[in-house]
Structure 1
Amino acid sequence: MCGITGIFDLRERRPINRALLEAMNQTQFHRGPDEGGVHCEPGVGLAHRRLSIIDLSSGQQPLFNEDETVVVTYNGEIYNFPELTQELQQAGHQFRTHCDTEVIVHAWEEWGEACVERFRGMFAFGLWDRNRQTLFLARDRLGIKPLYYSLLPDGHLLFASELKALMAHPDLPRDMDPQAIEDYFAYGYVPEPRSIFRSVQKLPPAHRLSLRHGQRDLPAPRAYWDVPFNSLPPLDEAAAAEELVARLREAVKIRQIAEVPLGAFLSGGVDSSAVVAMMAGLSPDPVQTCSISFADPAYDESRYAQLVAQRYQTDHYQEQVDSDDFALLDRLGTLYDEPFADSSALPTYRVCELARRKVVVALSGDGGDENLAGYRRYRHHLAEERLRGPLPLGMRRPLFGALASLYPKADWAPRVFRAKATFQALARDAVEGYFQGVSILRDELRAKLFSPAFRRELQGYNAVDLLREHAARAPTADPLSLVQYLDLKTYLPGDILTKVDRASMAHALEVRVPILDHPLVEWISGLPPDLKLRGGEGKYLFKKAMEPYLPNDILYRRKKGFSVPVAEWFRGPLRERLRIKVLGPRMADSRLFDMDLLHRLVTQHQEGQRDHSPALWSLLMFEGFLARLEAASP
């Protein structure tokens, strides 16, 4: 796992500032502390920070083909590289190393842009072909590895694994994108393809971008893959469960190739436990596993991790984290560069820190909830869809919209009396309904949160528009499959994978995600929806398939997740910090917010009248971003 950086002159072939490229590269030292490399020629410069995993003695980057006309800087792992190497050698290509990186340059020579369609793994790379005068950027299918890019006013294109590398360039415009701010306060992160800056974009998952000297405009990235949701041929439940296990086992197996210590995260949840069970069946040696426990039993699930560790006799390493572990708040902002409001980033950082003491590579269970319908919100969404079904939207929207406006808001009351929320749900279409379910701050609160001047800047944009764009391209109309597709396009890369990438790379730890093996994702997407969610049980088939491998206490309990007591912190140890930061001059000077509303949110929460912790956490993280932006200003 590594960090990549590059500068490309889109207009001409002007000399590249090597010292500046090296400075950009150095900001990502944490991603690859083993080695660094830089290549410059007229009009293009590529740089790399290396975390050595395979072929430790060679494979330094940037890496060239035989005649040094093609060079790549690459972050990731291509798990089918042995098969591709053999195929390319038979086609006449000469290899100098035994690493997966060299496969990329020869695959480009053989198949051009279609090379990415042959890769099985996680990757982001920039490749320069001198003969074709082409810079080629690509990102893996699910967005496991990140890639930012920006076209400067002078015609230089920058790209890097993290935004901080682009920010090391003094000419990068840093004005914030109003639509990204709206997205952030709806989702808790800035979804692809936007970044927090107008001038910077993220290359979306499963996209590629080709650039040539002499272009005046930046072309649009092009997709090379999508989750298909093509129905599989009929198969009975037992056969489907057997095939699911076989496919997961194979996905785990190819991710156990490494020349450094390898292990797994073990949270005690279904997904990480299933991965460990597969690893144990594939290895003659005990699997290295790690987990964290919490001092507060309300948040601690370590006993479930211990159940799995004991069953498979893993070499288990566990450490207790204080439930008031908020000392990382300032560190988080440095890691994520953009505003990022998922508070589980705190324990994720700690478990990565713990794992790195024992291993360099860790397998995780990420992706199971999106693939196999594990989130409780999927059940709630389908229940709402059943209520919406009998009447067309044209009738529901005016009727229930009017009732919702007349009925008083009663968040304090028992759920049965909260008819306003029910009326609002019935007045929405499926995408808008799901959006309201996943939003940190719903439409009504965001409208009040922002200042009138900022609302004018939005020009009518609403964060739900992003989900509508994805829904319009979705290959499925099934209610469950559609919202899974939306999460695979937004929440998975924007939140889950971003969180894990930055937390792991902060400790030079590589994390591999077998449940996001793209052939496995394709196959699972074609399963009948009732094999994913049945009778209120998410991951139905997966749990049935894992019954021979895991105890029912793991499979059929209500999972708590990696949560932290933010609401209590804001009324206790973080009480003053919250008031100082969220109600302070930096937020007021931004002119983005209605400061009177911020005062009401803080006061109501701290006096115990309402729980505004999700909104307040997102505001606190945004203030931290403003502070870092101010400190980094040239």
Structure 2
Amino acid sequence: MCGILAVLGCADDTQGKRVRVLELSRRLKHRGPDWSGMHQVGDCYLSHQRLAIIDPASGDQPLYNEDKSIVVTVNGEIYNHEQLRAQLSSHTFRTGSDCEVIAHLYEEHGENFIDMLDGVFSFVLLDTRDNSFIAARDAIGVTPLYIGWGIDGSVWISSEMKGLNDDCEHFEIFPPGHLYSSKQGGFKRWYNPPWFSEVIPSVPYDPLALRKAFEKAVIKRLMTDVPFGVLLSGGLDSSLVAAVTVRHLAGTKAAKRWGTKLHSFCVGLEGSPDLKAAKEVANYLGTMHHEFTFTVQDGIDAIEDVIYHTETYDVTTIRASTPMFLMSRKIKSLGVKMVISGEGSDEIFGGYLYFHKAPNKEELHHETCQKIKALHQYDCLRANKATSAWGLEARVPFLDKEFINEAMSIDPEWKMIRPDLGRIEKWVLRKAFDDEEQPFLPKHILYRQKEQFSDGVGYSWIDGLKAHAESNVKTLLPLMFNTSLLCVKL
């Protein structure tokens, strides 16, 4: 994942303003340590910090159309870029970047091309012919994006809040699945799948169709020109990602370049459940496995940095982000630049343990819809920012558009947790990969009950965090109380 920053219509085209935009863009350098670029047209600036995954040699940004009248800065991956290039055969491409198709699609279709993109993305496109611009964010919000407004009426768009907070009068989350158009003067939703209206679906459960949809989602994400691996906790979701990757890696371009031996990575406290389960899965699949351990104190020491990078104080997000943050640094040190991860499954299939309390299929479906819609504030944010802090990209096949459509079209009666029928949480996903002839995973792994990531890395991590918080709150309370008394006296 890269870092983008755009300042549009700021009524200031001086060298001083350019220097300021460059300074703010450098705050995103952790997201893209490989290169940086800036394009200025009058009072519009598009800057980019690049993490080179596809076409590392020539795919630097911003990207352009043939005559450079269209300028694009992008954070993301377009998995169907080769098919789109074939449809754009009359156009001349300058690079092998998967994101260059955006400039040419705009030439052909104007603003109505976003749904043609199969991938995850946040981008800003400037049309210098009339000084108009559009910005868009992927369907679920896998890539982070924020929008702000300067006191002079300028529009600011950034991959992280730290690119905006000092210079914007107001800024907010750029909503997933939306397009912002300067011509229209606001947002419009481009992503409108059938499930989004929360109408109860009625398609019968087809295990093979669900399996094929997930395999396709994983295979797409093997598009890479750099070393990669999988995050493997030993739970159902990450184990399925690893199993499908192992099964399909041999026939890919990535295998020709980097070999067919898949690397897997796990983090945890010494003796944690995840380390044990992940090692068992890795041995079964034959991956080159790397396990990293940390201490509770290591985690506590990293919290300040984790908050800086994730840009949230949400306790659940922070406690889960910290091990991922520590692991990402280790992974990057091995020369790996991309990993495939298992986020999103619990939201789609009702995998959290409280789904046992769902009274009926209607309530279960509504809850899964709401959980998916909120992912950009929680698991997507964690996975993206905890890895991007070290210039590592995380790809999430469970949040593939086509896979979500397949999974969310299933009659939710099949997702109901029914102990009387032997159905535990995420039974439809487990059953889809329960292959007796060619097993993807051992039965006890396939039907392992869910652990929260922050619990699976070691239960004492949560206890240690609680003790640390209580200790600091008790220390700060007298100081806060005395300060408030002083304020009252003044």
- The TM-score bracket by the shorter chain reads 0.7 to 0.9
Alpha-carbon distance, 1:581 to partner: 4.2
Q: Which amino acid aligns with 1:351?
A: M
Which of the numbers 411, 429, 448 marks the counterpart of 1:528? 411
Hey, what's the Cα distance between the residues in 2 that align with 1:14 and 1:357? 40
TM-score by length of 1: 0.68
Q: Partner of 1:211 in structure 2? A: 182
Does the CA-based 8 Å contact 1:290-1:354 persist in structure 2? no
Q: Partner of 2:448 in structure 1? A: 557
| Cα shift readout 1:436-484 (whole Å, capped 9, x = no counterpart) | xxxxxxxxxxxxxxxxxxxxxxxxxxxxxxxxxxxxxxxxx92111111
Q: Partner of 1:363 in structure 2? A: 340
Structure 2 unmatched ranges of 5 or more:
251-259, 485-490
Alpha-carbon distance, 1:538 to partner: 1.6
Q: Partner of 2:87 in structure 1? A: 87
- The answer to whether 1:332 aligns with 2:332 is no
Deviates more, 1:272-281 or 1:151-160: 151-160
Which of the numbers 295, 301, 304 marks the counterpart of 1:322? 295
Alpha-carbon distance, 1:63 to partner: 1.2
Structure 1 unmatched ranges of 5 or more:
174-198, 213-217, 387-476, 590-634
Does the CA-based 8 Å contact 1:248-1:514 persist in structure 2? yes
- The answer to whether 1:499 aligns with 2:474 is no
Alpha-carbon distance, 1:362 to partner: 0.3
Give the fraction of aligned pairs with identical amino acids, expressed as a percent.
29
Alpha-carbon distance, 1:168 to partner: 4.5
Does the CA-based 8 Å contact 1:30-1:505 persist in structure 2? yes
SS in 2 for 1:40: strand
Inter-CA distance 588–365: structure 2 relative to 1 (3 Å threshold): farther
SS in 2 for 1:478: helix
Hey, what's the Cα distance between the residues in 1 that align with 2:12 and 2:67? 21
Does the CA-based 8 Å contact 2:41-2:128 persist in structure 1? no
Hey, what's the Cα distance between the residues in 1 that align with 2:83 and 2:114? 15
Q: Partner of 1:442 in structure 2? A: none
Does the CA-based 8 Å contact 1:531-1:539 persist in structure 2? no
Does the CA-based 8 Å contact 1:227-1:485 persist in structure 2? no
Hey, what's the Cα distance between the residues in 1 that align with 2:194 and 2:42? 42
SS in 2 for 1:114: coil
Q: Which amino acid aligns with 2:265?
A: C
- The answer to whether 1:377 aligns with 2:354 is yes
Alpha-carbon distance, 1:122 to partner: 0.5
SS in 1 for 2:125: strand
The aligned length equals 456
Root-mean-square deviation (CA), in Å?
2.3
Alpha-carbon distance, 1:569 to partner: 2.8
Hey, what's the Cα distance between the residues in 2 that align with 1:542 and 1:355? 29
Q: Which amino acid aligns with 1:102?
A: E
Alpha-carbon distance, 1:202 to partner: 1.1
Does the CA-based 8 Å contact 2:233-2:266 persist in structure 1? yes
Q: Partner of 1:351 in structure 2? A: 327
TM-score by length of 2: 0.88
Inter-CA distance 586–205: structure 2 relative to 1 (3 Å threshold): farther
Hey, what's the Cα distance between the residues in 1 that align with 2:230 and 2:466? 36
Map 1:470-489 to 2 at 5 A. 478-489=362-373
| Cα shift readout 1:165-207 (whole Å, capped 9, x = no counterpart) | 11343xx34xxxxxxxxxxxxxxxxxxxxxxxxx111111100
Hey, what's the Cα distance between the residues in 2 that align with 1:532 and 1:587? 54
Q: Partner of 2:393 in structure 1? A: 510
Hey, what's the Cα distance between the residues in 2 that align with 1:123 and 1:289? 25
Alpha-carbon distance, 1:559 to partner: 2.2
Inter-CA distance 479–233: structure 2 relative to 1 (3 Å threshold): closer
| Cα shift readout 1:340-394 (whole Å, capped 9, x = no counterpart) | 32211111212222322332110001111111111112222x14xx6xxxxxxxx
Does the CA-based 8 Å contact 1:227-1:521 persist in structure 2? no
- The answer to whether 1:307 aligns with 2:280 is yes
Hey, what's the Cα distance between the residues in 2 that align with 1:500 and 1:211? 31
Hey, what's the Cα distance between the residues in 2 that align with 1:233 and 1:587? 61
| Cα shift readout 1:46-83 (whole Å, capped 9, x = no counterpart) | 00000101111111111111111000010000000000
SS in 2 for 1:6: strand
| Cα shift readout 1:523-574 (whole Å, capped 9, x = no counterpart) | 1110011222330522111101122211222122322222254663367455
SS in 2 for 1:326: helix
Q: Which amino acid aligns with 1:267?
A: S
Inter-CA distance 566–138: structure 2 relative to 1 (3 Å threshold): same
